[in-house]
Structure formats: C-alpha cells, structure tokens
Amino acid sequence: MKDKPLRLQNVELKFGDFIAISNLTLELDLKEFLVIVGPSGCGKSTLLSLMAGHQKPTSGSIEKRLNSRTVFQGDGLLPWLTVSQNIVFASETQNHKDPEQALQLIGMKKFADHFPHELSGGMKQRVEIARALQAQSPLILLDEPFSNLDYLTRKRMRLELKKIFRDQGISAVLVTHDIDEAVELADRILVLAGPPARVTDEIIVEKTEPAAAVVARILKSVGMEAT
Amino acid sequence: MEHMSTLWMANTRIFRFEDVIKSIGTNRGWQVSLFVLLLWYLASATGFFPESVFPSPKQVLQAFVEEVTNGRLWRDIYASIFRLLCGFLIAVFIGVPMGICLGAYPQLRAYGFPIINFLRNISTLAWIPFAVLWFGIGDSPVIFLVFLGAVLPLSLSVCLAVPNIPRIFFRVAQDSQLTSKEVLFKIILPALGPQIVSALRLCMGLCWIILVAAEMVAGRDGLGFAVWDARNGLRNDILAMEMLIIGALGICLDKVMMRLTLLPSLRWGYER
C-alpha cells in the first residue's frame, strides 16, 4: 500500500447543492497507466483536477506521493512564451533546459519560436505533452491530450507516449471519452458514470487480449453491446 | 532567463527611432494634416480668416523659428517631457502593484474600490490649488498632478484585469511548484501585460492633457506655461504654434506607446 503513488479514499466534491463526485475510492499503482473513460460531463476532468491538487475535495482524502504534472487540453500553454520557452517553463529549476529532444518527439522543431496563438489546437496539445515530459515528472495526469490531433498524429503520439512512459517508469492517469485510446494505452481502465462521478466498472487490460474484446467489455459495462 | 533576452532583443528592434518617424510619415493622419494646413493657408490668404482672429501659417512658422532660435521651445519641451515621465513612471510603479493587490484580494477590493471610484470622479484639475499649496510652483506640483491623473485609472484597469487571468495558468504554476514571488513575476505580470499596456496608452494621453493644464497654473516653464505666457503677452502666433507642438508631441507619445503592443511577448493579447 505504501508504494501507491496516488490514493483517493471516499472522495466527495460538492459545488453548493450539486454533487460532482460522490464517495469515490481508487488507487494508482507505481508505473501503472490508468485510463478513466466516461461520457462527456460525467466528472472526469474534475476528478483529474482533484488528483492534481488543483481542487480540494469536500470530504475524503487524497494521498499523492509523487510530484505530478498535468497535461491540459491545450489551453494550459502560457501565451506570452514561445513553444520552446513553454516546454522548459516547468523545468527551469532543474537541469532540463534544452527542449531539443522534446521538440523532436512532438515533431515541432520548426515551431520552436512560435507563440501559442500561432499554433493549431493539435499543436498546442503536443506542446503540452512535451512540457510534461521535459519536467521528467514521475506522475503525469493527462486530460484528453489527443482530442484535437489528427488520426495519424494521434496514433503516433500514443505509441511514443506509451513507450516513453514505460521506459522511464512514469505512472500516469489519462481521462478520455475515446474507448479505442483507452484500450491502446491502459494497463487498467476505470469506467466512470455520472454526475455524480462514480466508478461503474474496472477492467484490467491483458496484453494478450484482442483490443476488440476489451472494447466489447467496456461497452457491455455501460449497457451497450458491440455490433 | 531566456524569454527575458528575447524581450530585450525585441525592445531594441521595436524602438528604433527611424521606424517611429517612418510610421508617422506613412500615416493617413499625416496626409489629412497637410490638407488641413492647406485649407488654413487658403482661409488666411483670402482674408476669410483674419489674422486678428487667428494667426496665419506664415506667422506661426515665424513664431516657431523665433522660439527655436532663442532656445525657449526646447527648454519648454524638455521641462514638459521630464515632468510627464516622472509623474507617469511614479504612477506606474505605484498604480500597477496597487491594482494587482486590489484585484487579487477581494476583501481589500471591497474597501479600496469605492475610494478609488470616488477619487477618480474628481477632476485632477480640481487638485491644482492644493498641489500649489503643498508643493509650491515648479516641477513638483505638476509631477504630482500627472501622477494623480494616471495612478487611479491605471490601478483600476489592472484591478479589473486580475480576476480575468485564466485559472489554468495558476494550475500550471502550481504543477511547476512556483513560489509566490515567481507566480507574480512569471504568471500574473506577463498575463496582465496586454491590459497594462492598453491602460498605459490611455493614461499617457490623459496625463499629457493634465500636464498642459497644470503647467498653466503651477509651472514656471513648460509647454503649458508657454501657452499661458503667450496668451498674457497677446502673442497669438506663439500660442497657436505651442498648441500645434502640444498636439504633435501627444501623437508621438501615443505612437511610442502603441509600439509597445508589438512586443512579441504581448502580441497574443492583440491578435487573438
């Protein structure tokens, strides 16, 4: 239990009378890639902001043993800094000031001196990912980081990201409504329903299991049959 | 810091004097000014505009040569610009931090906002008697009045801009484990950059107007005093010339302030 990088115990979050998250308990294993799927508006991003410490729960406890970085949906870039400056922003106190490798990874070397308002939504998301990787954080929280990317870039980024996370032993939580993305990246999938957000199913993704079978299990857990 | 060096490089590029002059020369406003000058000349030459009512362009040009030759014009311009910059810079160094504090702390805003709102509705010119009483005649009362004219609108605009900084920037700061001081200098001030520059531009124009009025009463030199002195000496030619100089310098000051918006690290605020 001690080496769990993140642990939520009976967490509840209220905004006035509205209950956003109700009595939610979950744990993240070290080096695990946990994906939380659920429909839009069920409280996925709110849950992620609780995990990041950006919001405090109304009741319950959140234990976080590692420093985390959040990859937002592209709107977390600082508009007065260039792409390069944004990438090294989180790393200025450490010795990771050279953004070359991160720029190479996201395929944006040519845009190093551009400002965020000059980039497309997908490019912004890629810079956000690069910023999180540059900081070499052991725990990364991703809020639908591929939602604005085109199909090919999305596929490439997923593969690269999974490889980097595995090689560097990074623990990760990703929230998405894209089931294919969840199956491709996850070691474990939590199916969320709401509001109030609650876990309705937990699916361990076996490496040998065909993706279609995992998708069918998720659909079944939300009361839909795969066609 | 890397981005600071970019800013400095941009500074040196943006404030090239020849660029400022070029932008004035290619401006349509410049062409309109020449047209108005032509109309003025024709009105004066045909007697439609008698010289007893308003001086002719020739008289004004002669007054200009006279004031340049005897060196008074340069001394007045220097005195006015010096007072403007002193009052304005003091207002920036006090007004911006005051606006940030009021914007960041709602309780402080609840007390401070009504006071600022009350004071800013009192014309700065109404303070002239007190300025003279407290500071006498010369630089100090004018600098005080310029400061007073800029500090309240500036702090008010900064105060209103602070709550509009996207919350996500503070989440990035939290993830990056920035200290409070770093949040101020790396998040809050850059995020307010475009609003601060817009407010500075507006305040600069306001200060220029206040300065001229203040110098008329509380100055011993400066463009405002020169206008008043010309009026007392019945020198309408000098009076009109000084008015033209005041207008032209006001435009130049606005052009310089406007070029601040071209700084790379501020462009996001104007191009979105």
Structure tokens at B144: 């005080």
**B264 at A interface, C-beta within 8 A:** yes
Q: Is A186 helix (H, G, I), strand (E, B) or coil?
A: coil
The domain segmentation of chain A, as residue ranges, is 1-67+138-227, 78-136
CA distance B171 to chain A (A): 6
CA distance A49 to chain B (A): 9
DSSP code string of B108-135: HHHHHHHHHHHHHTS-GGGGHHHHHHHH
pTM of the predicted structure, to 2 decimals? 0.79
User: Distance between terminal CA atoms of chain A?
Assistant: 40
CB contact under 8 A, A76 and B172: yes
Amino acid at B197: V
Residues A31 and A40 sit within 8 Å (Cβ to Cβ)? no
CA B208 to CA B68: how far, in whole Å?
22
Pairing of strands A198-204, A188-193: antiparallel
- Residue in this structure with the two tokens 């400022």, named with its chain if needed: B20
Task: Provide, as residue numbers in chain A, all residues whose Cβ is less than 8 Å from the Cβ of B189.
Answer: none
> Which of B137, B139, B127, B125 has the alpha carbon at shortest distance from B82?
B139
pLDDT tens series, chain B, 272 aa:
444 444 444 445 555 667 666 666 666 777 788 888 899 889 888 888 887 788 889 999 999 999 999 989 999 999 999 999 999 999 999 999 999 999 988 899 888 888 988 998 899 999 999 999 999 988 999 999 999 999 999 999 999 999 999 999 999 999 888 888 999 999 999 999 999 999 999 999 999 999 999 999 888 899 999 999 999 888 889 999 999 999 999 989 998 888 888 888 888 888 76
> Which of A173, A163, A161 has the alpha carbon at shortest distance from A69?
A173
Strand order in the sheet with A6-15: A18-28, A6-15, A59-64
For the A1-67+138-227 domain, the top CATH level (class) is alpha beta
- Give burial (CB, 10 Å; 0-12/13-18/19+) of A27: middle
The domain segmentation of chain B, as residue ranges, is 56-271
Tell me how many residue pairs between chain A and chain B have CB atoms under 8 A apart.
Answer: 63
Domain B56-271 indexed as CATH 1.10.3720.10: yes
Residues B80 and B222 sit within 8 Å (Cβ to Cβ)? yes
Mutate to test the interface with A, among B175, B176, B265 (most CBs of A within 10 A): B175
* Secondary structure tally for chain B: helices H, strands E: 14, 0
CA B174 to CA A56: how far, in whole Å?
13
Kind plus residue range of the DSSP H or E element containing A15: strand A6-15
CA distance B263 to chain A (A): 10
**B192 at A interface, C-beta within 8 A:** no
Share of chain A above pLDDT 70, in %: 92
CB contact under 8 A, A75 and B3: no
- From the list A69, A115, A117, the residue facing B175 with the nearest CB is A69
**A75 at B interface, C-beta within 8 A:** yes
CA B113 to CA B98: how far, in whole Å?
11
Residues A6 and A64 sit within 8 Å (Cβ to Cβ)? yes
Structure tokens at B148: 């007073």
